[in-house]
Amino acid sequence: MSYAVHSLFLTHQGEGAHIGRLAVFIRFAGCNLWSGREEDRATAICRFCDTEFVGGRRYADAEALAEAAGALWPDAQAADKFCVLTGGEPMLQVDTALIRALKARSFRTAIETNGTVEPLSSLDWVTVSPKAGTTLATDHADELKLVYPQPGLEPHDFAGFRATHRWLSPMDGAQLRQNVDAAVAYCLRHPEWRLAIQAHKYWRVP
């Protein structure tokens, strides 16, 4: 299988329980909730995405992509490398061959997914970020990250979802201040949820 990858880069994780951790990001092209084109945003299932995932390059197979990821890590002999699979929607492309190739290069593998495709059990860390108007294909993850507020989708909708960490991430955009206030207020009333931040935007790193 070949892989369509928008970008491949070394940076620091800006969100969630691994915030600040050095990671190779593999950002896959394509998503099942939005084409990525502005002219399609108004009719998309997910209309608030702020990530560019159209275009890029194609890697011929799992070994080629894993080799490119490994080449970015500053210490080739390190035993604690970390790789984040994101998108777009990475589970449209991520398969066992790629996970195996990354692990062979001493990578722990994490994925950031909308949860509409069941994540592979061989992944080391799973972050699910649900979107309104979709059906989740899994009922558990290491992290549940809910962009908030979303019309038609409330934190209490996930009372039965099993997750070690629950994050409310204030929706970016023109209403950011109001959304931060709303998320803060919800977390104060429901301490099982934590307030999330997209620190990479403040650090000005990818």
> Among all residues, which ones are annotated catalytic?
25, 31, 46, 49-51, 112, 200
Residue type present at position 149: P
Residue 36 vs residues 98, 117, 188: alpha-carbon distances, Å = 24, 18, 35
Cα separation of 47 and 41, whole Å?
5
CB contact at 8 A, 34 and 46: yes
For residue 85, the cross-strand partners are: 26, 111
Residue 176 vs residues 25, 89, 179, 198, 201: alpha-carbon distances, Å = 26, 24, 5, 12, 13
